[in-house]
Structure 1
Amino acid sequence: MNKETKFLSVKDLVVEFASDGEIVHAVNGVSMELERGETLGLVGETGAGKTTIAKAILRILPDVGCKIRGGEVCLEGEDLLKLHENDMRKIRGNKISMIFQDPMTALNPVQRIGEQIAEVVKLHNDEHINPEKRAKEMLEIVGIPAERYYEYPHQFSGGMKQRVVIAIALACNPDLLLADEPTTALDVTIQAQVLDLIGDLRKKYNTSMLLITHDLGVVAQVCDSVAVIYAGNIIEYGTKEQIFDHPSHPYTKGLFGAIPDMNEDEEWLHPIEGLPPDPTNLPPGCAFAPRCNHAGEVCLKGPIGIAKTADGHDCRCCRLDEIAREEE
């Protein structure tokens, strides 16, 4: 990777947690890149390490029991993992912001929502900007009347709370937005509105976004490129068109196979059999091998490297050619 030409470059990121005397291998050598103004989707099952990757980029992982064991996280060529904490505080909320998954817990229930937005502006902008005025502007931008500045979180619906969280994240015009399943707690109608809002604001401010989601429909609507995460590592990585038109890894194919097709007369869905591996005891070879119908002895012998598929995107599978022939 040439980190000087990429807006965001993550290389060989490794994160571990210590739990009850065991080591949880949460992120295992993740590498990815993001251009300015683009959106990268992180897709995978619960526990795959998606949120840990985002928190490692922002350096908000727990101080106790968690270690970033290796790797680089470069923003415009500067390695964030090497910055002093005081310097990192200037980046959080200013250059990088995060939309957390649950707006119910992301907001302080005893503080007015306008004050929560204004607090971010006070911390990260110069003294010439009026925090209250800016907070009211942000409320209007996300579709909430400015007069609701003085109301509390319990006076807002789930969708409106999420709009407030988005307003907080975008109050200082960040260069990078980390969105952790921002629509999971919302119904379908409100989800569509929030996604449209995020998309419009991202285009307006030319903001790059790392979107964490389980929903491939959301990925299709929002993302430019996709990284499929399994057991703390990227197993398939490419543009949205490459991943959707030519999924190559058996796990990625399984994700698409579990989606109901309204044009087909199917009696049952086709979920991926089995459960994700125990992160404290990962298998020596491919972590997906115990659930894979195509696994062979070669899949169990050691770390699996990245291979290029026929259309040029990355896939972490040592049996790509054999699987392609089997499926012809």
Structure 2
Amino acid sequence: MPYSSFDSFDSFDFDLLVVGDANPDVVVGPLDAPLAFGQREQLVATGLLTLGGSAAIMACGAARLGLRVAFAGRVGDDDAGRFVRDALSARGVDTGALRLDPTLPSPLTAVVTRGADRAILTAPGTLADTGPDDVPEVLLTGSRHVHAASYFLMPKLADALPALFRTARVHGATTSLDTNDDPAGRWRSAGLTDLLAVTDILLPNAREALALSGVVDAGHREGGSDADVVAAARELAAAGPLVVVKTGADGALSHDGRTLRRAAPVPVEPRDTVGAGDSFDAGFVAATLSGLGASDALAFAAACGALSTRAHGGTGAQPTWDEAMAATTRNGKNQ
């Protein structure tokens, strides 16, 4: 049994179970010109090998905020997979349910930054084979909250998520989802509709919200207006979840189908925005589990996302609870 370490427990008490992607990120940049082919060599200021994957970064952010976090997913039984496992463990995340696949390589992502934007190239490795068998039921039934990320990168897991979320909710857990980007550009599906019905919190960025809702066609990569984003959040909330939208330099907003809330951006001097949305997710879940109301949780999450940009890579500058709360308080006083 791959999870025999859990089988000896009647229950396993975690605040948060994170399900999804984990991989090494190679982050280089900032590029000051278009990416050049033709065997041209371009020099950039920084390069970093760090932990990546939306789910993995979110898990680390939540652990940094003081939650007891378990991670479920799959990587290769290779140097990259062991790097991922060790990086998660070093940040306080339980990796007992991180399967090492002996036949497939670990995912690997290269991130090229340019200004506030970035290009992301991912070799999926084990992602396509990650499925429901990689998520032990004892963790679903023994965690206060279950979060899933990178929905479109793991089709087997995506198909099973509605059932997994239902199991978690039957046992008293709340649920959240960050779909991240859809490389195929399809975005909307019956399976996703079923999943939103059992999702308590949906955490897209503005462009993702527009594409998921259909308010703005997914092909329009530049996104829509603020009114479009609000309409998208309202439309998605009608499917069931509280919709919490990351709006970058504008802060964040949430919509529960009736009430629109906003959080102002937290001023920082960003060095790298990779993973900021995942740190935001961690902040919102942690704040909600701590009992903060919707407006306070939104402001706290905005602080977590902003503070995470102070260093290169997704996890190097993730804040503690006290750091994020102090930034939230300062930002509120300055409004």
Per the normalisation by structure 1, the TM-score is 0.30
Greater RCO, CA 8 A, separation 6+ = 1
Q: Between Structure 1 and Structure 2, whose CA radius of gyration is higher?
A: 1
